[in-house]
Amino acid sequence: MARIEENLEENKVTQKLNIGIWRKLFKYLTEFKNALLIAGIIMIGVAGIDVVMPLMTKYAIDNFIIKSTTKGLGLFALVYFLIIIFQVINVRLFIRQAGKIETHLAYHIRKLGFKRLQQLSFSYYDNSSVGWLMARMTSDVARLSEIISWGLIDMVWALVMMIGFIGIMLYHDVKLTLISMSVVLPLFFIGVFFQKKILKSYRSVRKLNSQITADFSEGVSGAKTTKTLVREEENLKEFKHDAGSMRNSAVRAAMFSSLFLPIVISMGSIGTGLALWVGGNSVITLGLSYGTFVMFITYTIQFFEPVSQLAATIAELQNAQASAERIISLIKTEPDIWDKEDVIAKYGDLFHAKEENWEKIKGEIQFKDVCFAYKNGEKVLNNFNLKIKKGQTIALVGETGSGKSTIVNLICRFYEPNSGGILIDGKDYRERSLLWLQSNIGYVLQSPHLFSGTIKDNIKYGKLDATEVEVERAAKLVNAHNFIMKLEKGYDTEVGEGGGNLSTGEKQLISFARAIVADPALFVLDEATSSIDTETERMIQSAIEKVLEGRTSFVVAHRLSTIVSADKILVIRKGKITEAGNHRELIMRKGYYYNLYTNQLLEDKEKESKEVFA
Ligand SMILES: Nc1ncnc2c1ncn2[C@@H]1O[C@H](COP(=O)(O)OP(=O)(O)OP(=O)(O)O)[C@@H](O)[C@H]1O
């Protein structure tokens, strides 16, 4: 469903040029005003010289050729030479300035987008896919920075040139100007029409190209599944369909391009023909100078270049408008969870934390009448109450969907309660900064994420200034050191994208070492449900015990061993605590926990005996 919505949005090509959208975008780009102004001034210079050149030709014809004299030719040549030098410098400056604006603009917009993505809450990511966000930050940004830098500058050039041409032509001969220019207006609209068609076809080629790349990638990564399900023929059919559509769009784009240029040339020739005819008559009957006549012809021929340029830029602006809208919507999105103004004033924000922020959490946590529902979802917690003492390990057990992860998400302030409050060390956590809380929390997920880089980089991720000794000590503590040392490059081994070069168990051990190095006061562990062999499980269990020592911890528990040693086990059912106590107390109660425990005990015995026979 999400994919369909995204595609609809991708397809959105705003028909009319909406100045309001561009103005909004420029609000975020105020620091580029001066750079754009300078580029605009340089471009006025370039266009000015383009306007002056036919005047120079006129002067040369009327004063040197017609009069058959070389008097003053030296000075003329010098001025001509200086003008050319000036133009060469101008062109160099303009290309440099536009290139600079393009790269800085892309950097600036990406920075704004990335900063916002870092601030946005989990609820935002619930509704936006990675692919959508990537496209915003890459292709949309590239398109916008290109159109704003080169497009707007070209527009200035085209406008100044057209105004200059018409002004000079009108000054010399109104009638001849109107006749020569009679084809310009139709040509402009034809230009916009064709450019739009061409861009639309290319857009569709690009979209289908992404689809085909995805088809290829799925074909490769899903090769085994395809073979076992005998899907080859179906897959080929789907691929042929996409590739065929792409070919048709590309042919359509080529057809429009091939029509556009001949039309411009033909209409341009009609305009030039008219200028030749009327201008020629004026030379014979009305005494129009030869120089002026040649100047008119040159202006008429050259006029079509800025016209088609303007048409292309306007079409591109319309096309890029959807990108502008999407980028604005991303940059403007306010995070659902953010510190209040008085909190920011006291502790600073995510990017500029004040000294006061770095106070360590002691570790007492209380849920006070907490009610919570996900956006558009049912209530998951209703008047939930819980008090945890400093240093305790709390295990949360219960059926899938009962609300265990929601409880830990609320503790981490990835989401906030709709009503009620969560108190940390006796104070509502909204009175303190997000940074304070989250820099005091260690969170190890079911499937821990490792970042591309070395094992060492990953262990140091939460404390960049950790020494090699600290890294190694942490790895030893969680039993990761041995397997790391067996790798050819040891701690300098690249883990691959998302830790792809390591097994799930190894990734977990590294994520525990990472948690130990960061030394958080609160620790949250969403245990893996995936079955791992008993040996790895033992290693992970002992790692968990090391990490939990001396910290207030929450474990969404699936393994018996963690559950048994927890200070308090909470059985969660439909967002409510139905049983609470330590292992012994709950076993005596013979309720849900007792059944869970005895069932798992049986499963474990079976697993162990299978491993012995294997
Ligand atoms: N991001 C979300 N948006 C909307 N609803 C959600 C979201 N995450 C969880 N839910 C819903 O909230 C309820 C509680 O989910 P939660 O993930 O807390 O359960 P859980 O006990 O941790 O389950 P499991 O053991 O399967 O991880 C479920 O009904 C689930 O569908």
Closest ligand 1 atom to residue 403 Cα is: 18
Pocket test for ligand 1, best of 376, 384, 402 (most atoms within 8 A of CB): 402
Is the beta carbon of 406 within 6 A of some atom in ligand 1? yes
- Grade residue 27 by pLDDT with cuts at 50, 70 and 90: confident
Whole-number Å distance between alpha carbons of 134 and 114: 10
- Ligand 1 centroid to Cα of residue 553, in Å, is 20
Mutate to test the pocket of ligand 1, among 129, 374, 530 (most ligand atoms within 8 A of CB): 374
Instruction: Evaluate: CB of 290 within 6 angstroms of ligand 1.
Output: no
CB of 401 shorter than 6 A to ligand 1: yes
Report the range of poorest mean pLDDT among 246-255, 433-442, 536-545: 536-545
Kindly state if the Cβ of 409 falls inside 6 Å of ligand 1.
Answer: no
Instruction: Tell me which of 84-93, 381-390, 489-498 is least confident.
Output: 489-498
> What is the structure's pLDDT at 100?
92
Is the model's pLDDT at 84 over the cut of 90?
Answer: yes
Q: Please tell me the residue having the least CA distance from ligand 1 atom 25.
A: 400
Question: Does residue 549 or residue 293 have the better pLDDT?
Answer: 293
Closest residue CA from atom 29 of ligand 1: 401
% residues pLDDT > 70 (the chain): 90
332 Cβ contact list (under 8 Å, min separation 6): none
The answer to whether residue 44 scores a pLDDT higher than 50 is yes
Task: Specify the pLDDT at position 13.
Answer: 46
pLDDT band at 422 (very low <50, low <70, confident <90, very high): very high
Instruction: State the pLDDT at residue 530.
Output: 54
Residue 532: the pLDDT is 59
Measured CA to CA, the distance from residue 191 to residue 315 in angstroms comes to: 9
With a 6 Å cutoff on the Cβ, whether 575 touches ligand 1 is no
User: What is the residue with the minimal CA distance to atom 3 of ligand 1?
Assistant: 374
Give me the helices (H) in 173-230, please.
174-181, 184-221, 223-228
Question: Residue 10 has what pLDDT?
Answer: 45
459 alpha carbon – ligand 1 mean position (Å): 29
pLDDT at 122 over 80: no
Residue 572 CA: distances (Å) to CA of 89, 387, 593: 74, 15, 10
Distance 188 CA to ligand 1 centre (A): 57
Please give the model's pTM, rounded to 2 decimal places: 0.68
Least confident of 252-256, 434-438, 604-608, 609-613: 609-613
Give the whole-angstrom CA distance, residue 219 versus residue 239.
10
pLDDT higher than 70, residue 591: yes
99 lines ligand 1 (CB under 6 A): no
The contacts of residue 246 (CB under 8 Å, 6+ apart) are 205, 208, 209, 212
Separation of alpha carbons 502 and 510, rounded Å = 10
Expressed in angstroms and rounded, the spacing between residue 344 Cα and the centre of ligand 1 is 31
404: CA distance to ligand 1 center in Å? 8
**Ligand 1 binding pocket includes 126 (Cβ within 6 Å):** yes
CB of 402 closer than 6 A to ligand 1? yes
Q: Across residues 439-446, what is the average pLDDT?
A: 80
Complex ipTM, two decimals? 0.95
pLDDT for res 3: 36
- AA letter at 118: Q
377 Cα: distance to centroid of ligand 1 (angstroms): 10
Domain ranges of the chain: 22-332, 359-440+557-614
Per-residue pLDDT, 4: 34
Joined tokens for residue 486: 């067996």
Which two tokens mark 58? 């006129």
* Helical (H) or strand (E) element with 394: strand 393-397
The confidence score (pLDDT) of residue 32 equals 87
Residue from 47, 49, 302, 311 nearest 157 by CA: 47
Spatial distance between the Cα atoms of 330 and 133, rounded to a whole number of angstroms: 9
**pLDDT higher than 70, residue 224:** no
Is the CB of 405 within 6 Å of ligand 1?
yes
Nearest CA to ligand 1 atom 11: 401
CB–CB of 129/1 below 8 Å?
no
Q: Rounded to a whole number, what is the largest CA-CA distance in the chain? A: 120
Task: Give the span between the Cα atoms of 104 and 95, in whole angstroms.
Answer: 14
For a ligand 1 pocket test, name from 126, 375, 380, 558 the mutation site with the most ligand atoms within 8 angstroms of its C-beta. Answer: 380
Report the range of poorest mean pLDDT among 5-14, 244-253, 295-304, 358-367: 5-14
Q: Among residues 609, 572, 163, 174, which one has the least CA distance to residue 385?
A: 572
| Alpha carbons 555 and 396: distance in angstroms, whole number | 6
Lowest mean pLDDT among 182-196, 290-304, 364-378, 388-402: 182-196
6-10, 437-441, 571-575: least confidently modelled range: 6-10
Tens of pLDDT, residue by residue over 407-416, are 998 998 989 9
339-355 tens-digit pLDDT: 888 888 877 776 777 76
CATH class of 22-332: mainly alpha
CATH architecture of 359-440+557-614: 3-Layer(aba) Sandwich (3.40)
Ligand 1 neighbourhood includes 399 CB (under 6 angstroms): no
Atom of ligand 1 nearest to the CA of 526: 27
Which range among 77-81, 198-202, 589-593 shows the weakest confidence by mean pLDDT? 198-202
Q: How far is CA 389 from the centre of its chain?
A: 42
Ligand 1 center to residue 366 CA distance, Å? 21
pLDDT at 597: 87
Q: Whose CA is nearest to atom 7 of ligand 1?
A: 374
Cα(386) to centroid(ligand 1), Å: 19
Q: Whose CA is nearest to atom 16 of ligand 1?
A: 403
The pLDDT confidence band at residue 87, using thresholds 50, 70 and 90, is very high
* Any atom of ligand 1 within 6 Å of the Cβ of 529: no
At residue 418 the predicted structure's pLDDT band, cuts being 50, 70 and 90, is very high
For the CA of 402, the closest atom of ligand 1 is 21
Residue 2 has pLDDT above 60, yes or no: no
**Which atom of ligand 1 has the smallest separation from the CA of 396?**
21
Q: How far is CA 57 from CA 52, 53, 54, 278, 299, in A?
A: 9, 7, 5, 20, 11
462 or 613: which leads in pLDDT: 462
What pLDDT is recorded for position 410?
92
What is the DSSP secondary structure assignment for residue 452, as one 8-state letter?
A: S
**According to the model, what pLDDT value does residue 360 have?**
82
Cα of 405 vs centre of ligand 1, distance in Å, is 7
Using one digit for the tens of pLDDT, what is the confidence trace for 565-587? Answer: 889 999 998 888 999 999 999 99
Angular region, 387: left φ>0, alpha ψ -120 to 50, beta rest: beta
Least confident of 84-98, 147-161, 524-538: 524-538
> How far is the centre of ligand 1, averaged over its atoms, from the C-alpha of 376 (Å)?
13
